[in-house]
């Protein structure tokens, strides 16, 4: 075999793995500081520096979200009590019902629309979430519930809110905490810590449903993407979340939310604001 006939080593896999791991740690740290999973910030990384097409990036992001949410729920179970959730169980069950239904529908929809349409939808949703983070940074901690105290109101509203949450989760590959937590605080008057725990409980079956549907559609047929991106990004996200949890209180959450909201809007527009050239794999 001549020198020119020798196979060239593929350096893309280790390079992509290192980038996925390295990017996930600061994202997870920031998410841990403000009680979020950071999936919104992982998506621009997956579709930008890591070079995945949006149809690939969304289910991969959802897989990493499952790892981070499961870990966060386990850690939260050690540090906090689940008892404060009891008064809100009907609402939580309703939110899960609506979210699971639309996670299934959203995963199906995402595979049927064109890449350009999906990128446009992702851009709009990320811009809304970025704006919501900025607004949340200026809101007071204690807010009275907007819904009446009736259980029937809580259940009906929960199903409707859950449907919106499930759609966003499946289209972006996120846990949806950025939407679930404000919903619980504003609509149901839940305190921040309890809302964070409830958000994880709602997110877990929502993510699992979206992942199952994506898997049925063949989104994870490329096992290389799981080993070179999902695994290192999942490990990095867990490490970052632990670091963020240890550093809670170092920087005011309100300041972080405003800053991260601005960063998310800028990064979302840069990645999805115009039609990207096809990624080379």
pLDDT digits (tens, 9 = 90+) for 40-86: 889 889 988 898 988 899 999 999 988 888 887 777 777 667 888 99
Q: Is residue 4 part of a domain?
A: no
Please answer whether residues 258 and 133 qualify as being in contact, where contact means their C-beta atoms are separated by less than 8 angstroms: yes
> Number of helices (H) and strands (E), helices first, in the chain?
11, 0
End-to-end CA distance of the chain: 27
Residue whose pair of structure tokens reads 């029937």 in the numeric block: 152
What does the pLDDT read at residue 3?
44
Signed CA dihedral, 270, 221, 17, 166: sign only = positive
Q: Is residue 113 part of a domain?
A: yes
What does the pLDDT read at residue 94?
97
pTM: 0.80
* d(C-alpha 47, C-alpha 56), whole Å: 8
Please answer whether residues 167 and 105 qualify as being in contact, where contact means their C-beta atoms are separated by less than 8 angstroms: yes
Predicted confidence (pLDDT) at residue 91 exceeds the cutoff of 90: yes
DSSP, collapsed to helix, strand or coil, labels residue 110 as helix
Instruction: Print the domain residue range for 98.
Output: 13-272
Q: Is residue 8 part of a domain?
A: no
- Over the chain, what is the mean pLDDT? 82
For 173-193, write each residue's pLDDT tens digit. Answer: 887 777 888 888 888 988 877
Q: Is residue 277 part of a domain?
A: no
Q: Is residue 168 part of a domain?
A: yes
Q: Is residue 124 part of a domain?
A: yes
What does the pLDDT read at residue 60?
94
For 154-179, write each residue's pLDDT tens digit. Answer: 999 999 999 999 998 888 888 777 78
Q: Is residue 134 part of a domain?
A: yes
What does the pLDDT read at residue 18?
94
């Amino acid at each position: 075999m001549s020198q020119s006939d020798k196979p060239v080593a593929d350096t893309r896999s280790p390079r992509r793995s290192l980038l996925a791991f390295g990017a996930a740690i600061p994202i997870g740290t920031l998410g841990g500081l403000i009680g979020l999973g950071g999936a919104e910030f992982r998506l621009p990384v997956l579709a930008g520096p890591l070079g995945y097409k949006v149809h690939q990036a969304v289910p991969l992001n959802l897989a990493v979200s499952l790892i981070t949410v499961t870990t966060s729920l386990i850690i939260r179970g050690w540090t906090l009590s689940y008892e404060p959730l009891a008064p809100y169980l009907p609402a939580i069950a309703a939110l899960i019902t609506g979210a699971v239904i639309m996670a299934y529908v959203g995963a199906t929809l995402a595979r049927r629309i064109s890449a350009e349409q999906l990128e446009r939808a992702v851009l709009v949703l990320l811009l809304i979430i970025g704006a919501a983070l900025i607004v949340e940074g200026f809101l007071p901690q204690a807010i009275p519930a907007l819904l009446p105290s009736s259980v029937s109101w809580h259940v009906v509203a929960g199903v409707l809110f859950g449907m919106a949450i499930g759609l966003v989760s499946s289209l972006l590959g996120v846990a949806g905490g950025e939407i679930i937590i404000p919903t619980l605080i504003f609509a149901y008057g839940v305190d921040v810590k309890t809302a964070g725990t409830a958000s994880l409980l709602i997110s877990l079956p929502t993510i699992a449903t979206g992942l199952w549907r994506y898997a049925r559609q063949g989104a994870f047929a490329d096992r290389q993407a799981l080993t070179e991106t999902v695994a290192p990004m999942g490990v990095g996200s867990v490490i970052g979340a632990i670091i963020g949890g240890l550093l809670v209180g170092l920087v005011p959450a309100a300041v972080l939310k405003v800053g991260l909201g601005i960063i998310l809007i800028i990064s979302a527009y840069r990645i999805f604001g115009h039609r990207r050239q096809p990624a080379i794999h």
